């Protein structure tokens, strides 16, 4: 958001945005766009790995997903998953 504000301020003042600045801004925007999509996936795998290493089991039937929002349920054992 800050980068966009700086670029807009340059435009409002009538200063031309250099090709190098434009290239850097584009690369930075694409990097953050990739992070927006990849970080939640990587974090989900990391959490599931850590929790399973602690001895918990993933409850497939109790977990749900709606669009991008995900709720993962873990329990102490498989019988705990079935009892809920």
Domain ranges of the chain: 1-53, 55-84
Helical spans, DSSP H, in the chain: 2-12, 19-53, 78-83
Residues in the chain: 84
HSE of 82, CA atoms in CB hemisphere, 13 A:
3
pLDDT of residue 24: 84
Closest alpha carbon to 76 in 43, 61, 45, 54:
54
Closest alpha carbon to 56 in 79, 73, 76:
76
Q: Is the pLDDT of residue 47 over 80?
A: yes
Q: What pLDDT digit, counting tens, does each position of 4-44 carry?
A: 777 787 778 887 778 888 888 888 889 989 999 899 889 98
List 74's β-bridge partners, or say none. Answer: 58
Q: pTM above the 0.75 mark?
A: no
């Amino acid at each position: 958001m800050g980068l966009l504000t700086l670029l807009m301020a340059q435009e409002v003042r009538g200063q031309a945005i250099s090709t190098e600045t434009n290239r850097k801004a584009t690369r930075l925007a694409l990097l953050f766009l990739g992070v927006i999509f990849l970080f939640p996936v990587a974090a989900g795998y990391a959490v599931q790995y850590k929790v399973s290493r602690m001895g918990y089991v993933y409850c497939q039937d109790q977990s749900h997903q709606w669009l991008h929002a995900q709720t993962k349920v873990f329990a102490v054992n498989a019988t705990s998953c079935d009892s809920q």
